[in-house]
Amino acid sequence: MAITGLNHVGLSTPDLDRANAFYRDGLGFSEIISFAWPVGTPGADAGLGLTDTAASVTVLLTGNSYLEVLQFDSPQPIAFDSPPTLRREGISHIGLEVTDLDSATDLVVASGGAVDASLPATNNSRLVRDPDGNIIELHTSSPDDPLDYRQLRVHTPGGLDGEPQPFTPARRDVVKGLSFAGITTARTADLTDFYKHANLNPNVTSSWESSAGAPRAALATAESGTSTPVNIGNSYLEFIEFRDQPIALKPTDARIIEYGFNHLCFDVVAIESTHQALTQAGMTCFAPWINMPGGTSAMGYALDVSRNPVELLEHLSARSIMWPGHLSV
């Protein structure tokens, strides 16, 4: 029973072609597969806890993880805020490890993203927006960095049958990989206690008391707060708790399909016992986990203790589409 890595971050977009042009053609993520399902697909409806769902999907390889880009045609997603902000509860942004900030910023703009002058920057990170306005933190690691990309390692399940699917590696000339997923929360302790049940233990919590003293751009959007990184192998989670003013809470009727970075998928071993342990710790399930068609994986969608949408994924064959063996730091 354990979470062994971040398999992918989900991104719900109103324009799949535009998102692919940015992340795939621009930033250099490689396409693994594209597919769609129509209204009247019972398995998709049950997994998402909704009815009459329909979506088009592209799975992209970032290097050390995957990005699942989804355009839902039914039901219609909503945006929590426009433009997106870090000061709302939930998966507020992703961090990309880059070779240098200037080259990465130029690439973002040339690919259809934007620099927002209202967002801060530091000497090791810079906040930019993708074409939908979602916030991305460009980041360069240093030896004393609690989110040091160079300390990450990929876990590949052993002893499974099947040959991995052929794939094209990510370009990685400017963007090295998806370093972390940032989660804004009003109660860090609830999240750290929950994820300990899947053998994820937080690093040391750090704090800042002025925006000028914040160690990274995302943290500098507030005058004070705490940052709690969690190393999950090939990437980090970062729980951010702003203390200078209240954050916007997620609507109680929020669905997994809403626009923005909409879910986190974790690779697990022993999905049944992991599912059971996290349910006992406060996870809310949309439906029982299932074996996927083809028998290469098992998965289930749920909400963590802070109602962040999560997906648990166990690989049963090396032919699994989002196979961790394709990943590298």
R_g over Cα of the chain? 18
pLDDT value of position 1:
64
Q: Is 24 helix (H, G, I), strand (E, B) or coil?
A: helix
Of residues 33, 34, 294, the one with CA closest to residue 166 = 33
Strand (E) positions, the chain?
2-12, 30-37, 54-61, 66-74, 90-98, 114-115, 125-129, 135-139, 175-184, 206-208, 225-231, 236-242, 260-269, 284-285, 290-291, 297-303, 309-315
Distance CA 207, CA 122 (A): 16
Give the mean model confidence (pLDDT) for residues 257-266: 97
Q: Which domains does the chain have, with CATH numbers?
A: 2-326 (3.10.180.10)
Q: What percent of the chain has pLDDT over 90?
A: 93
* CA dist list (Å): 151 to 130, 142, 245, 267: 27, 11, 33, 19
Answer yes or no: pTM beyond 0.95: yes
> Six-digit token pair at 305?
């203790």
* pLDDT tens digit sequence for 181-217: 999 999 999 999 999 999 999 999 999 999 999 999 9
CB atoms within 10 A of CB 202: 19
* pLDDT tens digit sequence for 142-166: 988 999 999 999 999 999 999 999 9
* CA dist list (Å): 78 to 56, 131, 255, 261, 308: 17, 16, 9, 12, 16
More confident residue, 30 or 82: 30
* Dihedral, 218, 221, 226, 229 alpha carbons, nearest 10: -10
pLDDT value of position 263:
97
Please classify residue 110 by burial: count the beta carbons closer than 10 Å to its beta carbon, then call 0-12 exposed, 13-18 middle and 19+ buried.
Answer: exposed
Query: Contact at 8 Å (CB) between 175 and 104?
Result: yes
Distance CA 262, CA 308 (A): 8
* pLDDT tens digit sequence for 100-147: 999 999 999 999 999 999 999 999 999 999 999 999 999 999 988 999
* pLDDT tens digit sequence for 5-37: 999 999 999 999 999 999 999 999 999 999 999
Distance CA 58, CA 80 (A): 23
Give the mean model confidence (pLDDT) for residues 63-68: 98
Mean pLDDT (the chain, rounded):
96
Reply yes or no on whether the pLDDT at 44 is more than 80: yes
**CB half-sphere exposure, 200, CA atoms < 13 A:** 29
Distance CA 47, CA 285 (A): 9
* pLDDT tens digit sequence for 272-298: 999 999 999 999 998 889 999 899 999
pLDDT value of position 286:
85
DSSP 166-213: P-PPP--SSEEEEEEEEEE-S-HHHHHHHHGGGT--B---EEESSGGG
